């Protein structure tokens, strides 16, 4: 573990090194936080675009997972910024919800596919209200 | 204070929208490489917009993992083949777990790889392979029509990048990250005092306590055994020998390097002592999802309603055929 930590420290540079010394020795600056938040906004936006544009039901659900991922990154970044573990705990619940959603949604997709022999979301457009 | 250059950010978002709209699968010409290059330039512009001063920038590793994550995400939404989309999503997951490591969330980084890349994505791959239309003999490399063309690529991309610009402004702007003050004190570190067995083991390995000495739990003066705030650990002999020797103090300067709350222990304390109800609810949600998936998967659906009505009608006309089949 120490070998791994020192290898990572050589990789990441000493300035923001936190690995292997996880009692969060360095406060995180707002600028660094803003980078992570904008990256998570980018991932969320790409997931949203995919959800709107793709017509394959499975890819649409994959794009919701992408949005979950973006939310998780923001939570971890805030957790690091505020030096407590509540954000990381929330990511565990995000993972739980994602797993539950994958199980349910994919069972539903298989059911829909067996009925219509297509994964096209617009094949079910008569379901709209 | 704004942490970003608004002009560069909005220019990056506009360029990114163009790139993504070009890269999405469309009818007619579909130059995905050109779209990807434009999107890469846009990503560079957005990151440049955040680099107002050269202080406090994240490390190079952040940019590497960020490029991989965003590029993988772009491939997820632009690749016409679902299996490749799922594989690119795994790439995004691995890059995110690298970012988690940079944020010193080691436990969540590895949990993410195991749960997402190992379990959830394998389920997705199974379903993609299970629910694919069998291509006819003359078209072996056929893509389904709904995979080849996307729905409203231009409007969707515009909407998405307006959202990204607004989110970026809100998160990096004056009332977002810029108005927050970073925490300087690690509050969860006090939980270290509850781990006396582990602390004693690492003290013993560092040869800071002699054989027979222990961490004193009940000091006569009422001092805490492990005082994280004050930086002291009390050690001494217990039992019959206790009266002979005074408890001695190991100050923080002498503590071995592994006497601190590591990430996994911090998450464990947060999960089990601060949010014990939530973990029960998570368990119930997983149980319900499992039951729901079993119920859905057991349902026999062979025919569409129309086909079933046809079958019913046939059964009505000729009950002998219907009964025997």
pLDDT in tens, A54-102: 888 899 999 999 999 999 999 999 999 988 889 999 999 999 999 999 9
> d(Cα A128, Cα A41) in Å, to the nearest integer?
30
Confidence bin at B192 (pLDDT 50/70/90):
confident
More confident residue, B165 or B173: B165
- Most trustworthy range by pLDDT among B71-75, B214-218, B259-263: B71-75
> d(Cα B252, Cα A23) in Å, to the nearest integer?
14
The predicted model scores a pTM of 0.83
Closest alpha carbon to A93 in B109, B113, B89, B286? B286
What is the enclosing helix (H) or strand (E) of B233? strand B232-237
Confidence bin at B208 (pLDDT 50/70/90):
confident
Least confident of A66-70, A89-93, B119-123, B298-302: B298-302
Average pLDDT over residues B293-314: 70
**Which residue in A86, A95, A103 is closest to B293 by CB distance?**
A103
pLDDT digits (tens, 9 = 90+) for B15-57: 999 999 888 887 777 788 888 899 999 999 999 888 887 888 8
Confidence bin at B228 (pLDDT 50/70/90):
confident
> d(Cα A24, Cα B210) in Å, to the nearest integer?
31
CB B199 within 8 A of CB B253: no
- Tokens standing for A54? 């793709």
At B226 the three-state DSSP class reads: strand
- Mutate which of A18, A72, A103 to disrupt the B interface (most B C-beta within 10 Å)? A103
Closest alpha carbon to A27 in B176, B183, B55? B183
- Most trustworthy range by pLDDT among B35-49, B233-247, B310-324: B35-49
> d(Cα B216, Cα B220) in Å, to the nearest integer?
10
- Could you say which residues from 178 to 197 on chain B have a Cβ atom under 8 Å away from some Cβ of chain A? 178, 180, 182-189
What's the pLDDT at B88?
95
For the cut 80, the answer to whether the pLDDT of residue B232 exceeds it is no
CB B131 within 8 A of CB A119: yes
Tell me the DSSP string of A86-117. Answer: HHHHHHHHHHHHHHHHHHHHHHHHHHHHHHHS
For the cut 70, the answer to whether the pLDDT of residue B135 exceeds it is no
Can you tell me the ipTM of this complex? Answer: 0.83
Other CB atoms within a 10 A radius of the CB of residue B162 amount to 14
For the cut 80, the answer to whether the pLDDT of residue B2 exceeds it is no
What's the pLDDT at B302?
62
> d(Cα A48, Cα A75) in Å, to the nearest integer?
18
- Most trustworthy range by pLDDT among A11-20, B80-89, B135-144: B80-89
Work out the percent of chain A whose per-residue pLDDT is above 90.
44
CB B227 within 8 A of CB B196: no
Least confident of A97-101, B94-98, B183-187, B235-239: B235-239
Length of chain B: 325
Do the Cβ atoms of A38 and B69 come within 8 Å? no
pLDDT digits (tens, 9 = 90+) for A8-60: 444 444 433 333 344 556 788 888 899 999 999 999 999 999 999 988 889 99
At B214 the three-state DSSP class reads: strand
Domains contained in chain A, CATH given: 32-116 (1.10.287.3510)
What's the pLDDT at A10?
46
> d(Cα B32, Cα A88) in Å, to the nearest integer?
36
What's the pLDDT at B261?
82
CB B40 within 8 A of CB B12: no
Do the Cβ atoms of B50 and A97 come within 8 Å? no
What's the pLDDT at B300?
73
Percentages of chain B per state (helix, strand, coil), in multiples of 5: 65, 5, 30
**Which residue in B20, B82, B186 is closest to A59 by CB distance?**
B82
> d(Cα B62, Cα A33) in Å, to the nearest integer?
12
- Mind telling me how many Å the CA of B314 is from chain A's nearest CA? 20
> d(Cα B237, Cα B211) in Å, to the nearest integer?
9
B146 neighbourhood in chain A, CB within 8 Å: 55-56, 118-122
> d(Cα B283, Cα B274) in Å, to the nearest integer?
16
């Amino acid at each position: 573990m120490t070998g791994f930590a020192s290898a990572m420290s050589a990789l990441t540079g000493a300035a923001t090194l936190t690995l292997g010394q996880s009692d969060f020795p360095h406060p995180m600056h707002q600028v660094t936080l803003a980078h992570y938040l904008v990256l998570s906004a980018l991932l969320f936006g790409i997931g949203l675009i995919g959800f709107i544009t793709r017509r394959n039901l499975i890819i649409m659900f994959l794009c919701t997972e992408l949005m979950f991922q973006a939310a998780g990154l923001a939570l971890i970044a805030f957790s690091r910024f505020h030096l407590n573990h509540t954000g990381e705990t929330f990511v565990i619940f995000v993972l739980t919800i994602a797993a539950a959603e994958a199980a349910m949604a994919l069972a539903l997709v298989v059911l829909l596919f067996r009925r219509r022999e297509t994964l096209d979301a617009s094949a079910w457009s008569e379901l709209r209200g | 204070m704004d942490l970003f250059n608004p002009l560069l950010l909005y220019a990056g978002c506009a360029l990114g929208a163009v790139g993504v709209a070009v890269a999405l699968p469309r009818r007619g010409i579909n130059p995905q490489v050109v779209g990807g290059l434009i999107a890469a330039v846009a990503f560079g512009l957005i990151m440049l917009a955040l680099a107002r001063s050269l202080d406090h920038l994240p490390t190079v590793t952040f940019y590497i993992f960020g490029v991989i994550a965003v590029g993988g995400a772009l491939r997820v939404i632009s690749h016409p083949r679902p299996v490749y989309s799922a594989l690119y999503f795994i790439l995004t997951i691995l890059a995110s777990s690298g970012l988690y490591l940079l944020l010193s969330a080691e436990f969540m980084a590895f949990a993410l790889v195991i749960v997402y890349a190992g379990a959830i994505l394998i389920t997705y791959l199974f379903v993609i392979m299970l629910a694919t239309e069998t291509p006819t003999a003359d078209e072996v490399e056929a893509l389904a029509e709904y995979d080849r063309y996307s729905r409203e690529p231009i409007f969707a991309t515009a909407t998405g990048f307006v959202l990204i610009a607004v989110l970026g402004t809100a998160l990096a702007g004056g009332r977002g990250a810029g108005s927050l003050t970073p925490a300087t004190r690690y509050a969860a570190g006090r939980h270290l005092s509850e781990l006396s067995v582990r602390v004693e083991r690492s003290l013993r390995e560092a040869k800071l306590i002699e054989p027979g000495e222990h961490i004193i739990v009940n000091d006569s003066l009422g001092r805490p055994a492990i005082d994280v705030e004050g930086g002291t650990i009390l050690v001494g002999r217990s039992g019959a020998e206790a009266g002979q020797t005074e408890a001695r103090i190991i100050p923080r300067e002498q503590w071995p390097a592994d006497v601190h709350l590591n990430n996994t222990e911090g998450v464990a304390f947060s999960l089990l002592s601060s949010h014990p109800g939530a973990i029960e609810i998570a368990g119930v949600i997983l149980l319900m999802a499992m039951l729901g998936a079993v119920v859905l998967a057991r349902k026999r659906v062979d025919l569409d309603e129309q086909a079933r009505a046809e079958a019913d009608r046939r059964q009505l006309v000729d009950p002998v055929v219907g009964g025997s089949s």
